[in-house]
Amino acid sequence: MRNIVLLTGALALALAAPLPAQTSPERVAAAALAAAPVWDGHNDVPEQLRGRRGNVLEGFDFNDTTKEPDGDGGTRAMHTDLPRLAQGKVGAQFWSVYVSAGLEEPEAVVAVIEQIDVTKRLIAAYPERLQYAETAADVERAMAAGKIASLLGMEGGNSIGGSLAVLRQLYALGARYLTLTHSRTLPWADSATAAPEHDGLTDFGVLVVREMQRIGMLVDISHVSEATMLDALDVSRAPVMFSHSGVRAVNGHARNVPDSVLARLKENGGIVMAVGFPAYLSEPLRQWGANRDAERRRLESLNPGDPAAVTTGIAAWIAANPAPKSTIGDYADHIDHIREVAGIDHIGIGGDYDGMETGPVGMEDVSGYPALFAELARRGYSQADLEKIASRNMMRVLKAAEAHAAAHSNDPPLETKVS
C-alpha cells in the first residue's frame, strides 16, 4: 500500500511539473552540425591567393585573414580563415581552383595547374586543421580526425584546353569536379550569362561529360545555360552537381536553376549546393542592380567623354536608392524551393565565399552557417534533414560518382584526334 501511495504521489508531481522546453532551433542546428559538419561546395580562397599575392604564401596567415593585403597597397578582409571555418562548422570544403574565363585555353591550362599547386601547398601548410582529400573515404577519415577535408574543384571548361587528355591529367592532379563553363560560352558548351551558340552541349561537350563520369569527376552545371543543364542530364549516368547555385523561381537570375531542371534531379540523384551570393538570393537586390546599370547607361549617354560626371551621378543615384539587403531568410527560401521541387535528398551548401563582396546579412563570412541551419530548423527541418543538407547528401553524390567510375574502370578512355 505504501508503494502505491508513493507511486501516486510521484505521478502527481510529474504531472504538476512543467513540461521541458521545446528544443530550440539553435540546438537542433548545433546537433545536426556536430553529427554532420558542413560540406561546402565552393570557396574561392585560391582566387584570393592569386589576386592578392600572386600565389606567394610567404607571410600568409590562414589563422587570421581579416587584415589581408588586397594587392593594391591596402588591406581588405577575406571571408575565410581557419577560426571562422571552425565557427561555421565546416568539415569538408571544395576549394575552387578557378581561373579567369577571359583566359584563352592554353593560358587557362597553365593557370589551373598553378592554382592546384598553390591550394595543395596551402593545405600542406596547415596539417593540424586541413587534410587533403580526393575520395569519399578520404573525407570520412578527415572528418573523423576533426580536420577539414580539402578537395579541389575546377571552375570553367577553358581549363581543360579543349582536350580530354588534359581533363584526365587534371583529374590525376586531384581535381574532383569541373564546372563546365563560367561566364563565357565555350566552343563546346553554352554559359548561362553569355549569348548561346550551341543550344547546350556540342558533340565534344557530350564527350567531356561522358569522360568525366567514366573517371569519377563530378559534372558541375552551375554557371551553364538551361539547355546545357538539360543536355548534361540527358548524357549523365551518375549524379551531377550544382556547386553553388540558387533557384530561378525565387530569384530570376540566369545563373540560378530553373524548375525544369530541379524536377529531373530525383531521377539523376544530383544535388544543388545552395549559393550565398546576395544578388542570386534576393530578387529585389537583382532588380536594384538592373536599375543601377540602366542609370549608369543613361548617364553615359548624357555625358559622353565625361566619366567624372557619370561617377558623380551614379553615386548620387545610389545614395538616393540604397541597395536592398539580402538575408538569411532569402537563403532559406531557396532551400525551401529545392526541397519542394526536388526533395530533401538533393540539397547541399555552396557558399561562394571569397568569390563575392559579402554574404547575406548575418552570414557575411564562413562563420555564419550555423545561423542558416538554425533558420531552417525554425522552419521545421528536422535534425536528420539538416544533416542531409550539411554533408550527407554530398557524401552520397560523391560515392555514387565513384561507384559509377568503378563499374566502368575497364572501359577504354574516350579519344579525339589532336591537330
Residues 225 and 216: their CA atoms lie apart, in Å, by 23
Catalytic residue among 79, 198, 223, 346: 223
Angstrom CA distances, 188 to 233, 237, 358, stand at: 16, 20, 32
Catalytic residue among 79, 198, 244, 337: 244
pLDDT digits (tens, 9 = 90+) for 174-202: 999 999 999 999 999 999 999 999 999 99
Using DSSP, state whether 363 is helix, strand or coil: coil
- Is residue 346 flagged as an active site residue? no
Q: What is the mean pLDDT of residues 99-103?
A: 95
- Is residue 352 flagged as an active site residue? yes
Band of the pLDDT at 153, cuts 50, 70, 90? Answer: very high
What's the pLDDT at 100? 96
- Is residue 253 flagged as an active site residue? no
Q: What is the mean pLDDT of residues 103-124?
A: 98
Residue 20 reports pLDDT greater than 80: no
- Name residues whose C-beta falls within 8 Å of residue 405's C-beta, 6 or more positions apart in sequence: 213, 214, 215, 216, 238
- Is residue 404 flagged as an active site residue? no
Catalytic residue among 40, 68, 190, 352: 352
Read off the C-alpha cell for 23. 528544443
- Is residue 58 flagged as an active site residue? no
Catalytic residue among 42, 334, 337, 346: 42
Lowest mean pLDDT among 7-16, 233-242, 382-391: 7-16
Angle between helices 369-378 and 25-35 in degrees, nearest 10:
120
Residues 407 and 136: their CA atoms lie apart, in Å, by 16
Residues 261 and 221: their CA atoms lie apart, in Å, by 11
Reference 96, options 397, 269, 275, 353; nearest CA is: 353
| Cα 325 from chain centroid (whole Å) | 21
What average pLDDT does the structure give for the chain?
95
Catalytic residue among 40, 44, 385, 387: 44
Q: At 151, phi and psi to the nearest 5?
A: -110, 165
Residues 145 and 147: their CA atoms lie apart, in Å, by 6
What's the pLDDT at 11? 41
Using DSSP, state whether 252 is helix, strand or coil: coil
Half-sphere exposure of 215 (CA within 13 A, CB side): 25
Residue 3 reports pLDDT greater than 60: no
Architecture of domain 25-282+326-407: Alpha-Beta Barrel (3.20)
Residue holding cell 544533416?
A: 387
Residues 191 and 100: their CA atoms lie apart, in Å, by 14
What's the pLDDT at 22? 66
- Is residue 244 flagged as an active site residue? yes
pLDDT digits (tens, 9 = 90+) for 328-354: 999 999 999 999 999 999 999 999 999
Q: What is the mean pLDDT of residues 43-69?
A: 97
Strand partners for 201: 189
Assign residue 350 a region (left: φ > 0; alpha: ψ between -120 and 50; beta: otherwise): beta
Read off the C-alpha cell for 17. 511539473
Residues 313 and 374: their CA atoms lie apart, in Å, by 42
Band of the pLDDT at 71, cuts 50, 70, 90? Answer: confident
- Name residues whose C-beta falls within 8 Å of residue 305's C-beta, 6 or more positions apart in sequence: none
The radius of gyration computed from the CA coordinates of the chain, to the nearest angstrom, equals 24
Q: What is the mean pLDDT of residues 13-22?
A: 43
Catalytic residue among 68, 81, 134, 182: 182
Reference 187, options 217, 166, 171, 208; nearest CA is: 208
- Is residue 44 flagged as an active site residue? yes
Catalytic residue among 40, 81, 134, 155: 155
Name the pTM for this structure: 0.93
Residue 385 reports pLDDT greater than 70: yes
Residue 45 reports pLDDT greater than 50: yes
DSSP 185-240: -BTTB-BTTS--SSSSB-HHHHHHHHHHHHHT-EEE-TTB-HHHHHHHHHH-SS--
Query: What are all long-range contacts of 190-194, with beta carbons under 8 Å and residues at least 24 apart?
Result: 190/224, 190/225, 190/227, 190/228, 191/223, 191/224, 191/225, 191/228, 192/223, 192/224, 192/225, 192/226, 192/228, 192/254, 192/255, 193/223, 193/254, 193/255
Residues 159 and 101: their CA atoms lie apart, in Å, by 9
Lowest mean pLDDT among 4-8, 84-88, 103-107: 4-8
pLDDT digits (tens, 9 = 90+) for 301-318: 999 999 999 999 999 999
Q: Where are the domains of the chain?
A: 25-282+326-407, 284-324
